[in-house]
Amino acid sequence: MKAKNILWVFLLFPAVTAFMEKPPTRWVVSQNSSLSVNGSTNINTFSCVIPAYDKTDTITIKDKSDKGVTLSGSIDLNVNSFDCHNSGMTKQLQKTLNEKQFPELHIRFLSLSNLPAITRKPEPVTGLVDIEIAGVSKRFEINYQISEDAENVINLLGSRDLNFTDFKLIPPRKLGGMIKTKDQLTVAFHLKMKTI
Amino acid sequence: MKKILITGLIAGCILFILSYGGLFLGIRFFPGLFVAYDNPLFNSNGSRDMLFYMHAFIISFALSWFWDRFKGLFKGSFLMRGLEFGLVYSIIALLPVMWISFSSLDITVVMVISWFLYGLTQAIIAGLVFAKVNP
């Protein structure tokens, strides 16, 4: 009899815990979202932006309480949408990112360390993403700030330092190497999302 | 021929130091003038760096031959001969090349003027060397 009870517990436990998981939440990425790439050379700094996200993608959030928060969804950005506020530099970035062969870069959202109560006050949270540039995908931990504004728009701001060479890209150098672009870049994005 | 090669080599060494030294200082002290070079029009993967640094010798050997062939036409002191040589080269060779470059490439006026002045300075320095070494 005792063994039978234990067996029931084992059989029912996964089913019960499955019902206890919160239902997935979906966030729709709005077109006001933006991404910027900031870098420097030995003579100047540059900031290249994709000022408006031209697609409507969703990110699904599954809060598994003890196992953290898993995310699924990605944003796909057109490399030729970058604007470096200087036509030559814009063309140079597109060439460096191998735009002809790989016209899109992708950010795939994988997880969050936790999902804080989203309020007006930005809350720090970390998460994992896969960033794919020029056909090479690398996993990074990102520091986010998450908040919600008066119009119930969720603002997810994330930034991360990465290197051209992480993606097997060569930082441009000009005039026999006298003008050199530094390997390190900062990628920052601001996603504006609505819960559906 | 030996004279042409020797004077070319001497001028090449001097131009190498002055040209790339000047370029290095220009980039360091006037970086704004060089921002426009961050453009795919200019080689960016380093594959032609050797060719870039050979330029001082290429121009020196070419000008050394030109000097040896026409040096009799340049009269006066060594300073005047060097100056006139540089001006002649710039008007005959540089000006038309700069003209076609500006008209066909997506480059700025500042860039073209700086290239012209760079070439003129190189030719005057080479002319002065030639007037001294191979009068």
User: Is residue A5 pLDDT above 80, yes or no?
Assistant: no
How much is the pTM? 0.81
Task: Return the domain boundaries, chain A.
Answer: 21-195
Half-sphere exposure of A69 (CA within 13 A, CB side): 21
Taking the CA of residue A162 and the nearest CA in chain B, the distance in Å comes to 20
Taking the CA of residue A172 and the nearest CA in chain B, the distance in Å comes to 5
Q: Mean pLDDT across the stretch A79-108?
A: 93
B57 three-class SS: helix
User: Is residue A86 pLDDT above 60, yes or no?
Assistant: yes
User: Is residue A2 pLDDT above 70, yes or no?
Assistant: no
Give which of A80, A96, A164, A179 to mutate to test B binding, by max B Cβ within 10 Å: A179
Instruction: Find the angle CA(A4)-CA(A7)-CA(A9) to the nearest 5 degrees.
Output: 115
Separation of alpha carbons A184 and A17, rounded Å: 45
- Could you report the per-residue pLDDT of A136-148, keeping only the tens digit for each? 999 999 999 999 9
Residue in B with minimal Cα distance to A94: B40
Residues of A in contact with B27 (CB under 8 A): 42-43, 175, 178-179
Q: Which of A147, A134, A73 is nearest to A107 (CA)?
A: A73
Q: Which CATH number fits domain A21-195: 3.40.50.180, 2.40.128.110, 3.40.50.720, 3.30.1300.10?
A: 2.40.128.110
User: How many contacts does A have with B, using Cβ atoms within 8 A?
Assistant: 69
Give which of B24, B27, B30, B39 to mutate to test A binding, by max A Cβ within 10 Å: B39
- Ranking A65-69, A155-159, A190-194 by mean pLDDT, the lowest is A65-69
Residues of B in contact with A41 (CB under 8 A): 38
Q: Is the dihedral of CA B100, B101, B102, B103 positive or negative?
A: positive
What residue type is assigned to position A90 of the chain? T
Would the CB atoms of B34 and A177 count as touching at under 8 Å? Answer: no
pLDDT of res. A68:
76
Residues of B in contact with A86 (CB under 8 A): 35, 38
Residues of A in contact with B49 (CB under 8 A): 176-177
B19 three-class SS: helix
pLDDT of res. A108:
93
User: Is residue B93 pLDDT above 70, yes or no?
Assistant: yes
Separation of alpha carbons A169 and A132, rounded Å: 12
Would the CB atoms of A91 and B39 count as touching at under 8 Å? Answer: yes
Q: Mean pLDDT across the stretch B74-98?
A: 96
Separation of alpha carbons B88 and A6, rounded Å: 102
Gyration radius (Cα) of chain A, Å: 21
Burial of A31 (0-12, 13-18, 19+ CB in 10 A): exposed
Would the CB atoms of B44 and A174 count as touching at under 8 Å? Answer: yes
- Could you report the per-residue pLDDT of B21-65, keeping only the tens digit for each? 999 999 999 999 999 999 999 999 889 999 999 999 999 999 999
Separation of alpha carbons A158 and B52, rounded Å: 41
User: Is residue A113 pLDDT above 80, yes or no?
Assistant: yes
Would the CB atoms of B38 and A41 count as touching at under 8 Å? Answer: yes
Partner B contacted by A88 (CB < 8 A): yes
Provide the token pair at A104: 């899109």
pLDDT of res. A24:
79
Residue in B with minimal Cα distance to A43: B31
Q: Name the most confidently modeled range: A5-14, A47-56, A130-139.
A: A130-139
What residue type is assigned to position A21 of the chain? E
Would the CB atoms of A172 and B45 count as touching at under 8 Å? Answer: yes
Gyration radius (Cα) of chain B, Å: 16
pLDDT of res. B77:
94
Task: Identify the band that residue A172 occupies on the pLDDT scale cut at 50, 70 and 90.
Answer: very high
pLDDT of res. A9:
57
Taking the CA of residue A181 and the nearest CA in chain B, the distance in Å comes to 9
Provide the token pair at A167: 């993606």
pLDDT of res. B97:
97
Provide the token pair at B23: 């370029």
pLDDT of res. A31:
76
Average pLDDT, chain B: 95
Residues of A in contact with B37 (CB under 8 A): 174-175, 179
